Amino acid sequence: MAEVVLYHHAQGLTDGVKAFADELRQAGHTVHLPDMYEGRTYATLDEGMGYARETGFGVVNERGVQAAQGLGEGLVYAGFSLGVMAAQQLAQTRPGAKGALFFDACVPVSEFGTWPDGVPVQIHGMDEDPFFSEEGGDLDAARALVAATDQAELFLYPGKVHLFADSSLPGYDEAAAKLMTSRVLTFLEAIR
């Protein structure tokens, strides 16, 4: 079974992120949930982004990176939206990464060097999510990553919702979230 470090999105460590982690645990995986917001959660994306701006995106990201330092190697790094930054940085730079899962976001690989050999990655997002699919943004970075390695998969779901897999938010899309979770579990089962 895989050991996963799962980073929350800009609204904080919500009940929906915790529920997703619980689904992975029920399948037998170990899941760590660092709280980059130190216990704060926000009702809206704008409020959460406000906290990240006020605190500093670099500070928030560093909290996520530091949370993994006490853990061993052989981890899968996963993140929702804002949490993808820490997950991707660790997947690309920390020795022993076993895989990566990016939800609703993807950073250009060049931000952290190159994509490491032997590290599979899945990227999931909605095809009309304005935060993910705008020209020159995350979707372009995801497509570039898929083009750069044969170990990357991009899954697009029909819709416009950001954070569609967080069951505690109003935009939750149950059908898309279930399909995403199924694909994630298949991915994790293949991790050795």
Determine the Cα–Cα distance for residues 1 and 3; give it in Å rounded to an integer: 7
> pLDDT tens, position by position, for the chain (192 residues)?
999 999 999 999 999 999 999 999 999 999 999 999 999 999 999 999 999 999 999 999 999 999 999 899 999 999 999 999 999 999 999 999 999 999 999 999 999 999 999 999 999 999 999 999 987 789 999 999 999 999 999 999 999 999 999 999 999 999 999 999 999 999 999 997
Half-sphere exposure of residue 58, counting CA atoms within 13 Å on the CB side? 0
Q: What domains appear along the chain, each with residue ranges and CATH number?
A: 3-175+185-189 (3.40.50.1820)
pLDDT of residue 178: 98
Question: What is the chain's alpha carbon radius of gyration, rounded to the nearest angstrom?
Answer: 15
pLDDT of residue 171: 96
Cα 102 → chain centroid = 4
Three-class SS state of 69? coil
pLDDT of residue 182: 98
Q: Nearest CA to 151 among 116, 127, 186, 184?
A: 116
Do the beta carbons of residue 126 and residue 164 sit within 8 Å?
Answer: yes
Three-class SS state of 44? coil
Three-class SS state of 125? strand
Task: With residue 158 as reference, give the H or E element that holds it.
Answer: none
pLDDT of residue 134: 83
Task: With residue 138 as reference, give the H or E element that holds it.
Answer: helix 138-148
pLDDT of residue 163: 97
